């Protein structure tokens, strides 16, 4: 069945460091791919998305490219800030109407 695998956290970085969070997926066809972010005590916020192969989603300095050859959708940011500390989830739609499958989440901690 369809699935999403994320790198385990936590990821701990210093401010202004480069961030990569790996996400690979197994899916039938070429579904849209999403990154959501969850700040402490809050719900999920859509960070970015890509709807077809080779698309690059971007938002707030974060980027992710839909790579069908490697079935990956890695999240990157060139210079992280303390305010980026959160849990990041990779997700894809699978199993019918509006059912999202999520990765386990990767916790990011950024220190000054």
Instruction: Answer yes or no whether residue 99 interacts with another protein by CB under 8 A.
Output: yes
Per CB under 8 A, the list member of 14, 45, 79, 81 interacting with another protein is: 45
102 binds another protein (CB under 8 A): yes
How far apart CA 105 and CA 108 sit, in angstroms, is: 10
Among 7-15, 61-69, 72-80, 100-108, the segment contacting another protein (CB under 8 A): 100-108
Interface with another protein includes 57 (CB under 8 A)? no
**How many angstroms separate the CA atoms of 100 and 91, rounded?**
6
Which residue from 69, 70, 98, 112 is in contact with another protein, where contact means CB under 8 A?
Answer: 98
Phi, psi of 83 (to 5 degrees): -70, -10
| 105 lines the binding site for another protein (CB under 8 A) | yes
Question: How many C-beta neighbours within 10 Å does residue 67 have?
Answer: 16
Beta strands at 106-111 and 11-14: parallel, antiparallel or unpaired? parallel
- Residue 40 engages another protein in binding (rule: CB under 8 A): no
Q: Does 58 bind another protein (CB under 8 A)?
A: no
Instruction: Please say which residue, 36 or 74, places its beta carbon nearer to another protein.
Output: 36
Dist CA 72 CA 25 (whole Å): 6
């Amino acid at each position: 069945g369809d699935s999403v695998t994320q790198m385990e956290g936590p990821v701990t970085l210093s401010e202004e460091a480069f961030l990569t969070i790996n996400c690979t997926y197994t899916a039938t066809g070429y579904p849209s791919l999403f990154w959501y972010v969850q700040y402490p005590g809050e719900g999920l916020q859509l960070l970015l998305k890509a709807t077809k192969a080779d698309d690059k989603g971007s938002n707030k300095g974060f980027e992710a490219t839909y790579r069908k050859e490697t079935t990956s959708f890695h999240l990157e940011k060139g210079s992280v800030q303390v305010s980026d500390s959160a849990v990041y989830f990779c997700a894809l739609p699978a199993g019918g109407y509006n059912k999202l499958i999520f990765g386990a989440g990767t916790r990011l901690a950024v220190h000054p």
